[in-house]
């Protein structure tokens, strides 16, 4: 984006801070004392930067956080301006200046991300609902759901097995009965469960039993885990509608089962395609 385009997108104060690396006056920002629950996003591009769960009162006059929202949500670079060595914090997506990082934060990280309020947009946590789907390798499935308006968060992990606290290596033995799944938090006022189901059917082949493309094993099975009788009914109705449409010549083998304990997958699996600059898996 050109400098002129940034000027049109941002307010004068935002432009001076985020593109010219300025700093707002201490105790002047609207989020310095904000105690609301939610997600702090980049004011320039909307990228999720920090969770309110990691915000703390530092007493220095700017919003402070001890951990970013996810690996890669922010980046750090050396800043030798003003005759001193500092660590600058920029948005991991658009590169806009956010603030600086200092090694005097609370446990468990010991870090303080000192961020300008004007560089942030606070997305207040509303009453969200959840859904969990398994449709093969969770990298590609997650990427598809993250693009859907109304989906506020996704986490990949494991569900439906008999083994406690499984690792990816455990899952790959094909002996734990877990499925690779995407756990979704969504705003029902912006996207319905039926719309989530529509996306689920489109991102994989529900006629393939315990596999998706070249990926073979029970972890790759097609499954809908429901959290309420309403979700169960909608899932069954959606499945019947797909069967009646005769889109597939073969039988649909998707399981519809009660949600079980969800185990979050290792961090390197979260938003895998996004981290590696990919739009989709080859399977899609």
Each residue of 138-154: pLDDT tens digit? Answer: 999 999 999 999 998 89
- The pLDDT of residue 152: 87
User: Do you find a cis peptide bond into 108, omega within 30 degrees of 0?
Assistant: yes
pLDDT lower than 70: segments of the chain: 280-284
Q: Which of 200, 188, 283 is nearest to 242 (CA)?
A: 200
Query: What's the confidence (pLDDT) of residue 277?
Result: 84
pLDDT at 282: 59
Tell me, what's the pLDDT at 284? 43
170-179 b/e with 16+ CB inside 10 Å = b? bbeeeebebb
How many CB atoms lie under 10 A from the CB of residue 188?
13
User: CA-CA distances (angstroms) from residue 145 to 31, 135, 225?
Assistant: 30, 12, 16
| Separation CA 209–CA 221 (nearest Å) | 6
pLDDT in tens, 170-228: 999 999 999 999 999 999 989 999 999 999 999 999 999 999 999 999 999 999 999 99
Task: Report the C-alpha gap between 223 and 217 in whole angstroms.
Answer: 13
What tokens appear for 199 in the block?
């996306």
Is 91 assigned to a binding site? yes
Sign, Cα dihedral of 207, 213, 216, 221: negative
Hey, what domains does the chain have and what are their CATH numbers? 3-124 (2.170.150.20), 129-275 (3.30.1060.10)
Query: Which of 114, 179, 191, 235 is flagged as catalytic?
Result: 114
Angle (CA) 214-218-222 rounded to 5° is: 80
Please indicate whether residue 281 is annotated as part of the active site.
Answer: no
User: For residue 189, what pLDDT is reported?
Assistant: 87
Question: b/e map of 95-104 (b: 16 or more CB within 10 Å)?
Answer: bbbbbbbbee
Query: Who contacts 218 (Cβ-Cβ below 8 Å, separation ≥6)?
Result: 174, 177, 178, 179, 210
Position 46 scores a pLDDT of 93
Q: Which residue is catalytic, options 137, 159, 197, 265?
A: 137
172 counts as catalytic:
no
Spatial CA neighbour of 49 closest among 139, 105, 104, 116: 116
Confirm whether residue 94 is marked as ligand binding.
yes
- Rounded CA-CA distance 259/180 in Å is 13
pLDDT score of 71: 87
Show Cβ contacts of residue 153 under 8 Å, excluding neighbours closer than 6 positions.
39, 184, 185
- CA-nearest of 54, 47, 87 to 68 is 54
pTM over 0.75: no
């Amino acid at each position: 984006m050109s400098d002129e385009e940034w000027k049109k997108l941002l307010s004068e104060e935002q432009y001076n801070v985020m593109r010219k690396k300025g700093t707002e006056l201490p105790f002047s920002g609207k989020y310095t004392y904000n105690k609301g629950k939610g997600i702090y996003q980049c004011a320039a591009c909307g990228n999720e930067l920090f969770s309110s769960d990691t915000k703390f009162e530092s007493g220095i006059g700017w919003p402070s956080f001890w951990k970013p929202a996810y690996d890669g949500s922010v980046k750090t670079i050396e800043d030798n301006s003003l005759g001193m060595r500092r660590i600058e914090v920029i948005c991991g997506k658009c590169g806009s200046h956010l603030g600086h990082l200092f090694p005097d934060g609370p446990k468990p990280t010991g870090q303080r991300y000192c961020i300008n309020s004007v560089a942030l947009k606070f997305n207040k946590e509303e009453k969200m609902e959840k859904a969990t789907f398994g449709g093969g390798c969770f990298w590609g499935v997650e990427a598809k759901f993250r693009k859907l308006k109304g989906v506020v968060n996704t986490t990949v992990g494991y569900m439906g097995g008999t083994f406690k606290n499984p690792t990816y290596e455990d899952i790959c033995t094909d002996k734990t009965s877990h499925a690779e799944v995407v756990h979704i938090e969504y705003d029902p006022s912006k996207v319905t469960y039926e719309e989530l189901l529509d996306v689920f059917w489109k991102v994989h082949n529900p006629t393939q039993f315990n596999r998706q493309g070249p990926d073979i094993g029970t972890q790759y099975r097609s499954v809908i885990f429901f959290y309420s009788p309403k979700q169960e009914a909608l899932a069954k109705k959606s499945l019947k509608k797909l069967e009646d449409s005769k889109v597939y010549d073969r039988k649909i083998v998707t399981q519809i089962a009660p949600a079980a304990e969800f185990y979050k997958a290792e961090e390197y699996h979260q938003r895998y395609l996004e981290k590696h600059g990919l739009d989709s898996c080859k399977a899609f």
